[in-house]
Amino acid sequence: MKQRITPFLWFDGQAEQARDFYVSIFRNSSVGKTLRYGDSGPGPKGQVMTTVTLDGLAFVALNGGPHYKITPGISLVVNCDSQAEVDDMWAKLAAGGQPMQCGWLTDRFGVTWQVVPRELPDLLNNPDPATAQRVMQAMMQMTKFDLEALRRARDAGPAV
């Protein structure tokens, strides 16, 4: 299926560096076409708009200038199959960035990511409300997710 919606990431002069950083992290990634702005814009001459595929998903990264800032209002979720993958993705994306609560981080380019174990929705949607609440309470105490701690919260049961 051809991707119909393509996210644009707006940078203030760091589109190529961000693109290359992300391609170095995610498998199945590649750099596409790069357009350098000329005298007629849309930005300062020499700045870029570049396409990139990250883990099979197409994006456009552009140097649009200081007019708009990336905020955590839009984030990218990386679903991970294991704690080792959570740890690896977290370490790479958080390098030079800012960790946040509940598996969120802002990378050194200002893009917000959620590094999430693929198992998390099942843990949070446990049919037993008390179990789901324990998992939620454990999750709310975390910065980087600890899958074993989440499982322990699920398995804790009521105190006897």
Q: What number of residues does the chain have? A: 160
pLDDT tens column, 80-114: 999 999 999 999 999 999 999 999 999 999 999 99
Q: At what angle do helices 83-94 and 15-25 cross, to 10 degrees?
A: 160
**Mean pLDDT in the chain?**
94
pLDDT of residue 2: 84
Angle at 42 (CA atoms; ends 39, 44), nearest 5 degrees: 60
Place of tokens 């179990």: 131
Residues near 126 by Cβ (< 8 Å), separated by ≥ 6? 132, 135, 154
Q: Which residues, in sequence order, are bridge partners of residue 48?
A: 36
Helix residue spans in the chain (DSSP H):
15-25, 83-94, 120-124, 129-140, 147-155
Q: Which two tokens stand for residue 58?
A: 């197409």
- Residue 53 pairs in a beta bridge with 30, 58
Percentage of residues in the chain having pLDDT higher than 70: 98
Structure confidence at residue 135 (pLDDT): 97
pLDDT score of 160? 41
Contact 47, 36 (CB under 8 A): yes
| Residue 29 φ/ψ, nearest 5 degrees | -125, 155
pLDDT score, position 159:
52
Please report the pLDDT score of residue 46 as a whole number.
Answer: 87
User: What domains does the chain contain, in order, with CATH numbers?
Assistant: 1-69 (3.30.720.100), 70-160 (3.10.180.10)
Helix, strand or coil, per DSSP, at residue 112: strand
pTM: 0.90
What is the pLDDT at residue 112? Answer: 98
